[in-house]
Amino acid sequence: MEDHSFRPALDLSADIASGKLTAESLMRSTLARIAAVNDQVNAIISLRPADDLLREARAADQSPRRGWLHGIPIAIKELAQAKGLSATSGSPVFAGQVASQDDLFVARIRAAGAIIIGKTNAPEFGLGSHTHNPVFGTTRNPYDLFRSAGGSSGGAAVALATGMLSVADGSDMMGSLRNPAGWNNVYGMRPTWGLVPDADADDVFVSTLAIDGPMARTPSDLAALLDTMSGTDPRVPFARGADVSLPGIDDLLRPPRIGWLRDWGGALPMEQGVLETCEAALGTMQAMGWPVEPVRDLFSSDALWTSWTRLRAWLVAMRHQEKYEDPALRPLLKEAMIHEIETGLALSPREIYAASGIRSDWFRSATQLFGKHDVLALPTAQVWPFDAELTHPTSIAGHEMDTYHRWMQVVVPASLAGLPAVSVPAGFGSDGMPIGLQLIGPQDSDSYLLQIAQTWHKATDWPGKRPAMV
């Protein structure tokens, strides 16, 4: 049987379209790869029966082509709803629950011809950038099985890094598409807020911190999936028009001017080697003719953190308060969820409004930075992948972390302003673990960021040079 494990999704799509490859052959290759490595990493969960998947693949081979994903296997992140598959959010509160319908972006992926084979693992309720939960267990980093895969799209990133999937979806509130991409040597894209609408959310007006997006081993696949997931929906206000990033992805017309935010003027503690590895990547970019300059006029990191933690906690509390108040369910909630709910419930209306004001000020400040730089660069994480048995890092370089998510502070600037950010592989540290760079752009610069990522990929191809170890 031919192995298609590490081939790009667009190449697989072209071969299926031309008849060089059948969906059934691809499905057999996919299932063989999953059987070979998934027990070690625990990335794909709720896998559908092989007989059903092969039957669906054979039906695809006999059916008219529905879209570029026709016959391509894909697994959906556990935080999203995919009809007939687990819908637990990794929590015992919802153990055994099955989705009755697709979320909007999942329906779009299915309509483009994808065969949904199962789900990808995520942290409980998506809280914390470490993919472990009491329902499905821990997802392991394929470069070191004793380390974290990141999160919350950790299962998706590992499935890509190990060749079990060619393309995957994820979601990002606090770096969940960027941190695991960096830790698994793949690409992740947090789109401009509103580009991928969430028609199934309880609230579609206030909740503007999280968004769904694509992950892949190549920027072209990233662009293709973003084009499928994006587009307005009449049920969602503020949604942006469909993205069309793929056709022009090779057309980067001028070198990007990169503003290096580094450790935010010393405000963000970094583990040894993170900045050095990222700066080596930036050195390569400079050698490619891309100007890199340090950004010195920085917005207050303390203000950003205050705004972020208040708005995040308030939104989480409003969504999950009923579980907290139920004496039968509260013991089932993870410590991070309790922290978010109690913090959110303690906030006054004045504090919430002030947090939104800080957010507005930061957006305006970022807009001014983009007058000097085309993109802003930050590491995808402040630490290397940590011990998978830990809940979260408690200190960085001697600095104690005062919350479960303080070590993820580096991803807040893009999230708080709703800005697009692509995570590109930056290379490996001295112990062989990967890290990435966030390249952050102004609103609606998604296609431009993907052009930058594509040019970087052609010059470096980190996912191809250093495939996952398992």
Written as one letter, the residue type at 13 is: S
Residue 315 lies in a domain: no
Q: Which residues of 374-397 are buried (b: 16+ CB within 10 A; e: fewer)?
A: bbbbbbbbbbbbbebeeebbeebe
Q: Which long-range contacts (CB under 8 A, 24 or more apart) does 146-149 make?
A: 146/387, 146/388, 146/389, 147/384, 147/385, 147/386, 147/387, 147/388, 147/433, 148/183, 148/385, 148/386, 148/387, 148/388, 148/390, 149/41, 149/43, 149/180, 149/183, 149/184, 149/385, 149/388
Residue 314 lies in a domain: no
pLDDT for 182-217, tens place per residue? 999 999 999 999 999 999 898 999 999 999 999 999
- Mutual angle of helices 23-41 and 50-61, in 10-degree steps: 150
Give the mean model confidence (pLDDT) for residues 314-340: 97
pLDDT for 95-133, tens place per residue? 999 999 999 999 999 999 999 999 999 999 999 999 999
pLDDT band at 468, cuts 50/70/90? confident
Residue 322 lies in a domain: no
Q: How far apart are CA 292 and CA 380, in angstroms?
A: 18
pLDDT for 78-95, tens place per residue? 999 999 999 999 999 999
Average pLDDT over the chain, rounded to whole? 97
pLDDT band at 278, cuts 50/70/90? very high
User: Would the pLDDT of 242 be above 80?
Assistant: no
In this prediction, residue 244 carries a pLDDT of: 82
Nearest to 208 by CA among 197, 222, 220, 223: 197
Residue 326 lies in a domain: no
pLDDT band at 297, cuts 50/70/90? confident
Give the mean model confidence (pLDDT) for residues 361-384: 98
Give the mean model confidence (pLDDT) for residues 348-359: 98
C-alpha distance across the termini of the chain, in Å: 20
In this prediction, residue 4 carries a pLDDT of: 97
In this prediction, residue 246 carries a pLDDT of: 94
Of all residues in the chain, what percent carry a pLDDT higher than 70?
100
Residue 381 lies in a domain: yes
Reply yes or no: is the peptide bond before residue 152 cis, omega within 30 of 0.
yes
**How many structural domains compose the chain?**
1
Residue 125 lies in a domain: yes
In this prediction, residue 469 carries a pLDDT of: 87
CATH, residue 107: 3.90.1300.10
Structural domain boundaries enclosing 237: 9-303+349-465
Radius of gyration of the chain (CA): 21
In this prediction, residue 390 carries a pLDDT of: 97
User: Would the pLDDT of 366 be above 90?
Assistant: yes
Residue 333 lies in a domain: no
Residue 74 lies in a domain: yes
